[in-house]
Each structure stands twice: as C-alpha cells, then as structure tokens.
Amino acid sequence: MAWKAIMANGDERPDKKFIGGVFGQWSEFTRFLSNVRGEMRKVVTPTRKEVQSTTTVVIIAVFIFGVFFLVVDSIFSSGMNWLLHKMGG
C-alpha cells in the first residue's frame, strides 16, 4: 500500500534513496577529510623564540590583571564595610 503511494507521487524507490544517501554521505565525508588535510598543510609551527615571547606576555598580563582585581576588590570591600557599618550602627 505504501509502495503504491510512493510510486504515485513519483518518488524514487526508498531503497535507492537509502543507497544514494549512504554514498552521498560517504563522498561528503571524504571531501571533508581532504579539506582537513589541505588545511593541515597550511599550519605553521611557531619557533621556540615565538613561544617564549608569547608565554612571557601571557604571564605578565596575568599578574597585571591579578593586581588590578586585587585593588578593585579591596576598594569594593572597604566601601561595603563602611556602608554596612553606617547602616548597622
């Protein structure tokens, strides 16, 4: 019954759609892998000097942000303590 409805609509046989879908997905997958391979050929490994310089920049930035947040936290903490002391008596 379902087969007649499919044929009346002019659709392909379901098994042909399935097989075509499998091969279509396989070709998409192989194309994806070839694109990945092409992109990996473009990757450049940084030199030791570049890695050292960027690591130094990151470490310095972490310390600067740490000090900044320490100062901001101290200011807010002092302000909250003052406010709570005034409100609480």
Question: pLDDT by residue (tens digit) across 1-31?
Answer: 555 565 666 555 555 566 666 777 888 999 9
Q: What are phi and psi for residue 43, nearest 5 degrees?
A: -70, 135
Q: Is the pLDDT of residue 62 over 60?
A: yes
pLDDT at position 4 is: 59
> Among positive and negative, which fits the CA dihedral 58, 63, 64, 66?
positive
Kindly state the average pLDDT of the residues 41-69. Answer: 97
Q: Where are the alpha helices (DSSP H) in the chain?
A: 2-9, 14-42, 48-88
Q: Is the pLDDT of residue 68 over 70?
A: yes
Structure tokens belonging to residue 58: 């990151």
Question: pLDDT by residue (tens digit) across 50-59?
Answer: 999 999 999 9
